[in-house]
Every structure is written in structure tokens, then in C-alpha cells.
Structure 1
Amino acid sequence: MSTQQPAPTRRKRPAKPQFTQMTLLLEAFLVGFATLVAYGLRVAPPATVWTLGGVTFAILLLLSGYVGRPGGYVAGSLAQLAVLGFGVLVPMMYGVGAVFVVLWVVSLRLGARIDRERAEWDAAHPEGAPPV
């Protein structure tokens, strides 16, 4: 009879970057759809709508990859202003953008709390902690 070794546990990805990354990705798609709405409503010249929407979309996609790096969370916070500013073209974006600002703050705070609690648990239970 052989004794099997338990499978080594993998180190978990930190929660804060996961939450904030997902928020920025969802926001990017929101801006993409808001761009379509602004184009359909003809609130500005098409070139202006597509430029503003496309640049904001691209910035949000790029920033989602940079969260967790130095300055990534600050840049993500500044991007929230750009999403709120999209309300100039589509007024409903003020409300929807405000919801995403709340999601961004919750992602930052809750993600940090989960990471802190995981670290405390790993420190209290070194035998069950994943390898570094």
C-alpha cells in the first residue's frame, strides 16, 4: 500500500488585483457600448465619438493589465474620471459611471482586506500555507 503525497497547493493570486482588473475590463466594455449609443444618438461628430470612445476603451484595457504594479491603482482611479466624463456624450453614463466608481472603491478595499486576512491565516497556519 503506497502513501500518496497530497498535491502541493498553489499560491493564490492576490484578490485586490483580480477585483480591480475585472472592474476595469467590465468598464471597458461599458464604454464600448456607450460609444455605440453616442454614435447612434448622433450627439457629436462620428469621428469625435469614435476617438473618445476608442481611446477610453483602449486605456481601460491597458490599465487592467497594470493594476498591482506601481502606480496602477492610481491610474485606475484616474480612469474612473474619464468614464464619468463620458457622461458629456451620454448623460446616462454619469449614473452608470458612478456605480463603477463605487465598484472600484469596493474592489480596492475588499481586495486589500481579503489579501490581509489570507496573509494572517497563512502566518498562523504555516503547515497549510502554499509554498512561496
Structure 2
Amino acid sequence: MTKAQREWRPGQPRPRRSIRTMFASSVLVMEAFIAFFAALTAYGVLGRDLGDGGRTGLFVGGCVLAAVLLLAPAVLGRPWGYTVGWALQVPLVATGFVLPPMFVVGGLSLLAWWYAVRTGARLDRENAARDAAQARWEREHPDG
């Protein structure tokens, strides 16, 4: 059993999940797919000019970036998790140096990341205010 399961009591309200974390996780997973498909594209399009070693290097590098992006949502709950997410935007946009269209795709992904973090934080603040108002109302009106 997890700590949360051991500490649970009947009638205990479930803590609200962070919308910012859910939005940011979705964007990071989407970016992992983008990185993987960019690696496949680089392998197929540019690999002929680079030889087998360069071809494999491009593919492995893209797959490593995709794997890191896929694992990054696991650390979003930590204080430094969003810093990792911001830092991962740099190599995604930088793949444009290998495949120039990735400057556009990476830039749009960066915009999606920014929007997810900003809007998710705003919605979390609104939910916290709504929960506080509900708790205050329930204290003032115990009979319902």
C-alpha cells in the first residue's frame, strides 16, 4: 500500500490534482512523439549523406531526446520539475539545425508548453479559491 492509501480515512475528500501538471505532462508526451518522428525523418532524409555512423547517431540522439521527454512528466511534481520542462524545450527547438522545419515545429511546441504552464497555473489558482470559498461556506452552514 502507498502512503496515501495507508493514511486514507472514510469520508476524507480526495485532494485535487494539479491542472498545470496534467497540461504540462500532455505537452511533454506530445513533444516526445514529435522528437521520435523527427529522428525517423532525419534518419531517412539526411542519413544517406552522413553514412551509417552519422545515420545511427541522429536516430539514437533523437530517441534519447524522445525518451527524456517521455520521462519528464514524472518529475513535474518536484520543485525543479518545471525547470526541467523548460530546459527540454531548448534541444527540441535546436533540432531545427538538423531539420530546418523543426524550428517551426519546435517553436510551436514551445508555445504549447508556455500556454499549458501558464493556463494550468491560472486554473489551479481559481480552483484553490473555489475550494476555499466552499470550505468557508461549509463551516458557516454546518447543516447544509
TM-score normalised to structure 1 length:
0.85
- Report the CA distance between 1:46 and its aligned residue: 1.2
User: What is the alpha-carbon root mean square deviation over aligned residues?
Assistant: 1.6
- Give the number of equivalent residue pairs: 121
Alignment correspondent of 1:42? 46
- Report matched runs for 1:99-118 at 5 Å: 99-118=108-127
Separation in 1 of the partners of 2:74 and 2:99? 27
Alignment correspondent of 2:25? 21
- Report the CA distance between 1:9 and its aligned residue: 6.0
Separation in 2 of the partners of 1:9 and 1:29? 36
What whole-Å deviation, never above 9, does each CA across 1:36-55 have from its counterpart, x for those lacking one?
A: 11111025421221121011
Alignment gaps of 5+ in structure 1: 1-6, 128-132
Say yes or no: does 1:69 pair with 2:75. no
Separation in 2 of the partners of 1:107 and 1:78? 15
Alignment gaps of 5+ in structure 2: 1-10, 139-144
- Report matched runs for 1:84-103 at 5 Å: 84-103=93-112
Separation in 1 of the partners of 2:69 and 2:101? 19
Alignment correspondent of 2:62? 53
Which structure would you say has the larger Rg?
A: 2
RCO comparison, higher one (Cα < 8 Å, 6+): 1
Q: Which of 87, 103, 118 is 1:78 aligned to? A: 87
- Report the CA distance between 1:58 and its aligned residue: 1.2
Alignment correspondent of 2:34? 30
Identical-pair percentage: 36
TM-score normalised to structure 2 length:
0.78
